[in-house]
Amino acid sequence: MEVKRNNRKKVFVTGASPGLIRAVINLLSVEKFEVICLTRQNIEEKVIGISWHVGDLLKPETYERVLSSCDVVLHGAAVTHTINEQEYYEVNLEGTKKLLSLFEPNAEVRFIFISSRTASEESGAYGRSKFLAEKALKTG
């Protein structure tokens, strides 16, 4: 018996909770993509074409296996509001670096990074953390 393979591209999404990212994954799932969303908590929501993977951006071992089968990464996870400025750098910069560290230099994975209009060296902690994450993406 011949097994039919699913030829849909796999998209790994971080930061699937915010409105913009949620709208994008809903569009992707009805098109030709299988969407796998990294989430910190178990999600019971059932949506055709979307699966939820519990993990922690700062602990790559919690998502490395599932990420290895993906064709596209949509990285939108970020701390946007906090009293502790160090959290911006921990998640927005270090989390991005940890995610990037899982890819070989010439990997054929499309990486889409959701930044911020405030990303700047002169910005506040959030904007600076996003600016530094952009810089990390450019330098590998």
pLDDT in tens, 17-63: 767 777 887 787 767 888 999 988 877 777 777 889 999 999 999 99
What is the set of domains in the chain, with CATH numbers? 9-139 (3.40.50.720)
Q: Where are the beta strands (DSSP E) in 1-140?
A: 9-14, 33-39, 50-54, 72-75, 110-113
Q: What is the pTM of this model?
A: 0.87
Query: How many CB atoms lie under 10 A from the CB of residue 89?
Result: 17
